[in-house]
């Protein structure tokens, strides 16, 4: 069963998918969205779901450090509800606190990637990290 991981922001959604065995996560792309204009990239997301034969979607839940649900987490849940309604797939959530920070550190320390290039891949890498965390836990 292939699982898709999404790192949802207000302007982009990082996308990762698992291998067929559900062991490893690979980054696919970053979808441009615009929450203010209610443009959520569903057409592209559905294309990727069909292309990779995804059976389940995991969305990062950016909880506050005190474990409470804030505005960004509520926005991620709303995005998950939209994904479920548009695709009919099961949607699960994974605590993603600090995955973007972790991704940025990886790009700086291990990849020596410039700030400009980091901005282009950070959300995709965060999606890989959150999906890999989910796969490892399950």
pLDDT tens across 14-68, in order? 999 999 998 999 999 999 999 888 899 999 999 999 999 999 999 998 876 777 7
Question: pTM for this structure?
Answer: 0.83
At the second CATH level, the architecture of 2-137 is: 2-Layer Sandwich (3.30)
Q: Which two tokens stand for residue 50?
A: 């069909």
Q: Which two tokens stand for residue 72?
A: 């960004």
Cα–Cα distance measured from residue 80 to residue 93, given in angstroms and rounded to the nearest whole number: 8
pLDDT value for 48: 97
Q: For the beta carbon of residue 20, count every other beta carbon within 10 angstroms.
A: 10
Nearest to 9 by CA among 133, 67, 96: 96
Q: Residue 2 forms beta bridges with which residues?
A: 54
pLDDT tens across 67-103, in order? 778 788 899 999 999 999 999 999 999 887 655 656 5
């Amino acid at each position: 069963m292939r699982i898709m991981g999404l790192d949802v922001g207000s302007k982009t959604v990082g996308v990762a998918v698992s291998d067929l065995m559900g062991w490893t996560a690979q980054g696919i792309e970053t979808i441009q969205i615009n929450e203010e204009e209610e443009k959520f990239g569903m057409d592209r997301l559905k294309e990727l779901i069909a292309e990779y034969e995804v059976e389940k979607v995991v969305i990062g839940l950016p909880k506050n450090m005190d474990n409470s649900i804030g505005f960004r987490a509520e926005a991620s849940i709303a995005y998950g509800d939209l994904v479920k309604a548009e695709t009919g797939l099961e949607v699960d959530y994974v605590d993603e606190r600090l995955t973007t920070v972790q991704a940025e550190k990886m790009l700086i320390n291990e990849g020596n990637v410039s700030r400009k290039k980091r901005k282009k891949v950070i959300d995709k890498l965060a999606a890989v990290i959150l999906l890999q965390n989910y796969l490892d836990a399950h």
